[in-house]
Structure 1
Amino acid sequence: MTDNQRAITEDQRQQALLIWDYHQMHHEARPADAAIGLGSHDLGVPAFCARLYRAGLFPTLVFTGGPNPTAPERFPRGEAVHFREHALELGVPDAAILLEPQARNTGQNITFSREVLAAVGITPSTVLLVSMPYMERRAFVTARKVWPEVEVVCASEPLEFDDYVKTIGNDKHVVDQLVGDLQRVIEYPKLGFAIEQDVPEDVHGAYESLIRDGFTSRLLDS
């Protein structure tokens, strides 16, 4: 087992759980004018989009994302393209899907998706943002900054932390991602990329502890 695949200790798991819970917005998925499936390395996102579409929660779905920055070999034709194909396999009709294949970050995901919707005459008042479970809060604070007039509802595949880790198959990778996303929630408001959020003391302590333990591969360059 390489360092990047090493198992985490029980203490590290408990610290990660605090951050995992914080990242989730705990919104109730409800009907929206459109949904946006945010690009990532995780096919759980388009699968959950398909599930919500079949439940009748929205008529139009945008998949957004270019090449994955951390694993470009996973979706060589870009995240949005592969997500669309997966959703089609799961029964979402082609006519319901719009494609945004250029975005390289979350701000672009949301801004470019807004433009794609506008191009076909859709100006939503409510948008369902579908992401990986630990990306909900970062998606929310970014959307509230770049698209403040829309009501944002966050959703993700309803998995517990341990079950999600099993789907990815790499403990360290997931914890690195949790830490990196929390850093962005903390730092991006200072750069004008997101609205500010309160970070509870225990969550911030867990964040600092995991950084000390070396879960740093997704931290921003200093």
Structure 2
Amino acid sequence: MHYREHALSLGVPEDTILIEPATTNTAENLTLTRDLLAERGLTPHSVLLISRPYQQRRAYATCRKIWPEVEVICGAHPMKLDDYVASIGDVDRVVSMLVGDTQRIEVYAERGFAIPQPMPENVRKAFQRLVDHGYTARLVA
């Protein structure tokens, strides 16, 4: 279900929902959404970012870089890893997505797309073990 339809199913009035259809990544989504709101004279003090659970940390860091004047709140549908894997149907794909997103937390900060965040050493070692075992399909060059 798309986010708009889900919001409608929760009772959000249709005339309060704005759609930004042109994005190809998180930074564009934040920039274009901020512009869409500004065009309507809206200047939020906080934003709620809804994403997949494993993307929340990167979405937060990107928003803090792109839109530093707002308070950032992240949310996702709570789901156990086993349930998420079952919903995708491919363990290797899910592990590759997690590895890719973990890499992006640091790479995007280095490239200026997000704020830097600490990476615990045990996470760094787990990431490297997974890369060494071939989970590289979602890594950025």
Match of 2:26 in 1: 106
1:136 CA drift (Å) = 0.2
Match of 2:55 in 1: 135
Match of 1:190 in 2: 110
1:85 CA drift (Å) = 4.1
Which of these residues, 169, 177, 180, is aligned with residue 100 of structure 2?
180
1:84 CA drift (Å) = 2.5
1:156 CA drift (Å) = 0.5
1:196 CA drift (Å) = 0.5
Structure number with the higher helix fraction is 2
Mapping of residues 1-222 of structure 1, within 5 Å: 43=1, 46=2, 83-88=3-8, 91-221=11-141
Structure 1 SS opposite 2:19: strand
Question: CA–CA distance in 1 between the matches of 2:5 and 2:48?
Answer: 20
Question: CA–CA distance in 2 between the matches of 1:90 and 1:146?
Answer: 29
| CA-based RMSD | 1.5
Relative CO higher for 1 or 2, CA cutoff 8 Å, sep ≥ 6?
1
TM-score normalized by structure 2?
0.92
Question: CA–CA distance in 1 between the matches of 2:8 and 2:129?
Answer: 42
Q: Which amino acid aligns with 2:43?
A: T
Structure 2 unaligned regions, length at least 5: none
Structure 1 unaligned regions, length at least 5: 1-42, 47-82
Q: Which amino acid aligns with 1:103?
A: T
Aligned length: 141
Question: CA–CA distance in 2 between the matches of 1:198 and 1:191?
Answer: 16
Structure 1 SS opposite 2:100: helix
TM-score normalized by structure 1?
0.60
